[in-house]
A = this chain, B = another copy of it.
């Protein structure tokens, strides 16, 4: 079978299929489990300065076309999280710490307090006041925060972007200027669901972020646009539920992919996606590198 080994955003991975941030990433054991299940790398739940319980429930609604969530960045704070990262690493795949903050200083404090194989800056969560997309939609802030973390850490720094803007490429270019090793696209899309019986917004936080199959075409588009404009690698995430989706994302320009919502079907999906990519490459007689960005070259 075609090897999937290679560099993704500055990490040497066994395969380019990763566990996305916030998915089964709360505990070290769960991160390890995902690694053992076949994830080339695992990204933690986003970690911040202080412990947060998250929003009241429902935190998640399964809509037919995807998931809607507003967890509210629950996390035990970086002070309690190093042990989980260490346990996670025993799974044999790199552990990427997803971190968030409300300012460059907070990002630096969290990153400084954690030892991980790479950092992913959550500048894109759409449902936590003062964090995520609220900062991440301003190119200047993205650049400044990226630069601050890059200066602090010697491991790869990825910047996770929000699609809730007119121009995601401008954000990607800011991350690039700030020194990011890679960008990750996309986080969830601002959305809402209302209970038709009662009129109540279903999420405890009323509004939240859409993920899953519904957003895949949007993610593919963002990855395509970012790959066309940036010189750093793009990691694709959004709605990947089978190997074909992963191939599509890679053709759009992704060097690696992350899988989130599809994990609700079980962890086997990780291996089934990477096996599918291998078999596809075998059938086509191609290497992974040939596939990446193919859509931009087909005219």
Contacts and interface: CB of A to CB of B under 8 A. Distances in A.
A164 interface: yes
Contact of A196 (B200, B207, B214, B248): B248
A127 to B, nearest CB: 11
A37 interface: no
Contacts of A214: 65-66, 213-215, 217
Interface string A172-213: 000000000000000001111110101111000001001001
Interface in A263-299: 291, 294-295, 297-298
Main secondary structure of the interface of A (DSSP, over half): mixed
B217 A298 contact: no
Given A166-B164, A224-B192, A251-B196, A217 B63 contact: yes
Contact of A252 (B137, B194, B216, B298): B194
A35 B64 CA distance: 30
Given A166-B164, A199-B298, A213-B214, A194 B248 contact: yes
Interface in A60-78: 63-66, 68
How many chain A residues sit at the interface, stated as a range, is 35 or more
A229 interface: no
A221 interface: yes
A190 B221 CA distance: 7
Contacts of A165: 165-166
Contacts of A216: 65
A231 interface: no
Contact of A251 (B64, B194, B244): B194
A201 B248 contact: no
A267 to B, nearest CB: 23
A298 B201 contact: yes
A295 B197 CA distance: 11
A285 to B, nearest CB: 14
Contacts of A189: 189, 218
B210 A218 contact: yes
Contacts of A294: 199
A198 B251 CA distance: 9
A216 B215 CA distance: 11
Contacts of A210: 217-218
Interface string A155-176: 0000000001110000000000
B192 A68 contact: no
Given A191-B221, A218-B191, A220-B191, A213 B248 contact: no
Given A137-B166, A166-B166, A194-B295, 4 more contacts: A66-B217, A199-B291, A199-B294, A201-B224
